[in-house]
Amino acid sequence: MRNTFLAAMLLAFLPLGAQASTFNFSYTFQSGDVVTGSLSGDKNGDYVDNVGNVKVSLNGTQFLAAPEVWPLGVDENGTIGGVPTVSFNGALNNFFFSNADFPAKPFSSYFAIINNSMFNVAQAMTPNSLPTDLNCPFCTEGTFNPQRWSLEEVQSPSAVPLPAALPLMLSGLGMLGFATRRKS
């Protein structure tokens, strides 16, 4: 019985799993067109790891939304695939968010910032189904400007239990211990 109580106490204070943070991002093209969006992931210094739940809008019109968004990276040869690099420092970004699992399936819309030794571009391509009053259904810049990139954490998971929940949890564990002791 004592071992059961100790195991219950240990489980109560262990985190059950990590929760990803939510981030908002934006990039302003030289034309004045603005890509905005959000994503989830784990903050790791200047980087965001385990990127998912991506949503992207161009000038306020959403054109990419999870779960139909594939976050991919781009290698030195321009091959799309692998893990994306998303960073608070715009100069470190190297990602391709598309509406298809490329290259297995063709894509019709994407937002990419490709910044490696071979490429230095920012591009957004919206599907034909969007309104044609957008300034830029296909936006591209031959030279990506890191100063026009913004990424900020807007929601971070709580690492510790709320103080108000602690007395309730302790009283419940005490009652469990009392009931277990009374049975024996």
Number of independent structural domains in the chain: 1
More confident residue, 26 or 141: 26
Query: Is residue 15, in this structure, part of any structural domain at all?
Result: no
In-domain check, residue 12: no
Name the amino acid, one letter, at 178: F
> Burial level of 84, CB count in 10 A (0-12/13-18/19+)?
buried
CA distances from 92 to 22, 34, 47, 63, 83 (A): 19, 20, 9, 24, 14
In a domain? residue 10? no
Do 103 and 70 contact (CB within 8 A), yes or no? no
**Does the pLDDT of residue 156 top 70, yes or no?**
no
Confidence category of residue 174, pLDDT binned at 50, 70, 90: confident
Instruction: Please give the residue that has the higher pLDDT: either 159 or 179.
Output: 179
Say which range, 11-15, 23-27, 94-98, 110-114, has the weakest mean pLDDT.
Answer: 11-15
What are 35-39's contacts with CB under 8 Å, separation 24+? 35/111, 35/124, 35/139, 36/60, 37/64, 37/111, 38/154, 39/71, 39/86
Q: Is residue 117 part of a domain?
A: yes
SS3 label, residue 166: helix
Residue 69 domain-assigned? yes
Query: How far apart (Å, rounded) are the C-alpha atoms in residues 27 and 163?
Result: 39
Residue 75: pLDDT over 60:
yes
Does residue 7 belong to any structural domain of this protein? no
Quick check: 38 and 101 in contact, CB under 8 A?
A: no
**Helix crossing, 165-183 with 2-13: angle to 10°?**
170
Range of the domain at 137: 21-155
Q: Is residue 184 part of a domain?
A: no
Cα separation of 141 and 90, whole Å?
Answer: 15
Q: What is the mean pLDDT of the chain?
A: 79
Per DSSP bridges, beta strands 70-72 and 95-98 are: antiparallel
Half-sphere exposure of 110 (CA within 13 A, CB side): 21
Q: Which of 62-71, 75-84, 156-165, 169-178 has the lowest mean pLDDT?
A: 156-165
pLDDT of amino acid 133: 46
pLDDT at 126: 80
Residue 153 clears pLDDT 50, i.e. is over it: yes
Compute the radius of gyration of the chain from its Cα atoms.
Answer: 23
Q: Which two tokens stand for residue 156?
A: 């971070």
**165 within some domain:** no
- Quickly state the pLDDT bin for 97 (edges 50, 70, 90): very high
* pLDDT score at 107: 82
Predicted local distance difference test score (pLDDT) of residue 132? 45
Using one digit for the tens of pLDDT, what is the confidence trace for 13-56?
Answer: 544 445 689 999 999 998 888 999 999 999 999 999 999 999 99
Is pLDDT of 69 > 70?
A: yes
